[in-house]
C-alpha cells in the first residue's frame, strides 16, 4: 500500500498512521520527522534545509521533495509507505506526482479522514504535552498522574499554544483555504477515499482498511 494520509489537525491521522504502519508493515513517513532527521544526519539536502530554517524561513518545496525522494527510494519503502504531512497545497501535490512518475509509482491513494469541527476542537483542546520530552496525551490518559508516562518528568504537562481554541480555529481556517483543494486534485483523478474519523480508534481503522481494499480491488 502507498498511502497519502490527509485531514485537518485533530482528526486522528497520527493514530491511524501508527496502526497502519504496524499492521501493514510499511513505514510511516512524517515529513516533519524526515526533515528534522535529514538536518540531524547532515545530509546535503538536510544542511541546505538547516541553513534556511536557521534564518526563520520555510523550507522550499523542492528541498522537501528531494528529501522525500531519498526516503521513498530507500529499502524501507520497497513494500509501500504512509506519507503524512505532505502535500499541503495543489502545487506540492503536482510536485509529488512528478516524483511518483520519476519513481514509477502509480498506485498512491489519498486517504482523507474527516471529523466535525467541534469534535476536532474538543480533541485538540483536551490534549496536554510534556515540557520535557514533547509527548502528547489526552486528559484521560494522564488523569491523576503527576509524572509523564514517557520520560517520568514531574508536573510537566501543559496546554500547547496551538491547542488553544482560538488558535485551533485559525488553523482550521487555513486548512480549509489552503489545503482542502488538495482533496479536489486527487478526487478528480479518482485517487482519493474519505473516512469518517468519528468513532473508536478501532472502528475508524476498520473503515479505513475496508475502503482501501475496496479501492485497490476496483483499481
Looking at the annotation, which residues are catalytic?
13, 88, 127, 160, 171
b/e code 131-147 from CB counts within 10 Å (16+ = b): eeeebbbeeeebeeeee
Q: Residue 75 burial by CB count (10 A; 0-12/13-18/19+): exposed, middle or buried?
A: exposed
Q: Cell numbers of 99, please? A: 516524483
Among 28, 199, 30, smallest CA distance to 114 is for: 199
Exposed/middle/buried for residue 197 (C-beta within 10 Å: 0-12, 13-18, 19+) = buried
Q: How far is CA 123 from CA 15, 116, 197, 212, in A?
A: 13, 11, 12, 26
Alpha-carbon gap, residue 123 to 31, rounded angstroms: 23
Angle (CA) 121-127-133 rounded to 5° is 145
Residue corresponding to grid cell 531519498: 70
C-alpha cell at 53: 530554517
Amino acid at each position: 500500500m502507498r498511502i497519502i494520509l490527509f485531514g485537518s489537525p485533530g482528526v486522528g491521522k497520527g493514530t491511524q498512521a501508527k496502526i497502519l504502519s504496524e499492521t501493514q508493515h510499511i513505514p510511516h513517513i512524517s515529513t516533519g520527522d524526515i526533515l528534522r532527521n535529514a538536518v540531524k544526519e547532515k545530509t546535503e539536502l538536510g544542511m541546505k534545509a538547516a541553513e534556511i530554517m536557521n534564518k526563520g524561513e520555510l523550507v522550499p518545496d523542492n528541498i522537501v521533495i528531494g528529501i522525500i525522494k531519498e526516503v521513498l527510494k530507500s529499502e524501507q519503502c520497497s513494500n509501500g509507505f504512509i506519507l503524512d504531512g505532505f502535500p499541503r497545497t495543489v502545487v506540492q501535490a503536482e510536485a509529488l506526482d512528478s516524483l511518483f512518475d520519476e519513481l514509477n509509482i502509480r498506485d498512491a491513494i489519498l486517504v482523507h479522514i474527516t471529523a466535525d469541527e467541534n469534535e476536532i476542537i474538543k480533541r485538540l483542546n483536551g490534549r496536554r504535552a510534556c515540557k520535557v520530552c514533547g509527548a502528547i496525551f489526552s486528559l484521560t490518559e494522564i488523569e491523576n498522574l503527576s509524572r509523564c508516562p514517557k520520560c517520568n518528568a514531574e508536573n510537566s504537562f501543559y496546554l500547547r499554544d496551538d491547542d488553544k481554541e482560538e488558535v485551533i480555529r485559525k488553523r482550521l481556517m487555513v486548512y480549509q483555504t489552503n489545503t482542502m483543494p488538495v482533496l479536489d486534485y486527487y478526487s478528480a483523478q479518482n485517487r482519493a477515499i474519505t473516512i469518517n474519523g468519528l468513532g473508536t480508534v478501532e472502528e475508524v481503522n476498520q473503515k479505513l482498511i475496508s475502503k482501501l481494499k475496496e479501492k485497490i480491488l476496483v483499481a
